[in-house]
Amino acid sequence: MTTEPAEAGRDPEAVSKFVEGFAAQLVEAGMQRMPARVFAALLASDSGTLTSAELGESLRVSPAAVSGAVRYLSQQHMVSREREPGSRRERYRVHSNQWYEALTNREAVLKRWESALREGVDSLGAGTPAGRRMAETLAFFEFVDGEIVAMMERWRVQREERFGRG
């Protein structure tokens, strides 16, 4: 029995197929390639954690690439980093329920759109046709902001019923 790489006993081909396929979807939705692949690999791991070395090996990329991808993902709160006690190894973890909450936390993006639209309404004039169009768009985004919060609360209830506290 050798030192198994945690994810032993699974068909590496099937895993890789999923990883690349899901990553491709994320890329199409606007995510950079390497963060997408790293994230998909974590999502597909049984433990939900992988070390830098494991990621580099299974994705066939340099430690530098892993480092950059992980920095991005943790800024987006899609993964967290933890140091294994008594080791130089770092583990990266996807919290199954937290990652998609991060997805809906595009709030910062919405806020910036809103602020740009507010400036537009002001500088073009609230009474002009263009100003009114922007004001309506702005109102929509403000509406969405609130709805998302409520939606996530409903989801948390439903999730607990169906999946338990995770």
Interface residues with DNA (CB under 7 A) are 32-34, 51-53, 60-71, 81, 83, 86-90
Instruction: Encode the chain in three state secondary structure.
Output: CCCCCCCCCCCHHHHHHHHHHHHHHHHHCCCCHHHHHHHHHHHCCCCCEEEHHHHHHHHCCCHHHHHHHHHHHHHCCCCEEEECCCCCCEEEECCHHHHHHHHHCCHHHHHHHHHHHHHHHHHHCCCCHHHHHHHHHHHHHHHHHHHHHHHHHHHHHHHHHHHCCC
Establish if 112 lies at the interface with a second copy (CB under 8 A). Answer: yes
Binding residues among 19-38 for a second copy as defined by CB under 8 A: 21-22, 25, 28-30
Question: In this structure, what are the phi and psi dihedrals at residue 32, rounded to the nearest 5 degrees?
Answer: -70, 155
By CB under 8 A, residue 100 contacts a second copy: yes
Least distance (Å) from DNA to the CB of residue 89?
4
What's the closest the beta carbon of residue 101 comes to a second copy, in angstroms? 9
Q: Which of 14, 53, 126, 149 binds a second copy (CB under 8 A)?
A: 14
Residues that bind a second copy (CB under 8 A): 10-11, 14-15, 17-18, 21-22, 25, 28-30, 43-48, 94, 96-97, 99-100, 106, 109, 112-113, 116-117, 119-120, 123-124, 128-130, 132-134, 136-137, 139-141, 143-144, 147, 151, 154-155, 158-159, 162-163, 166
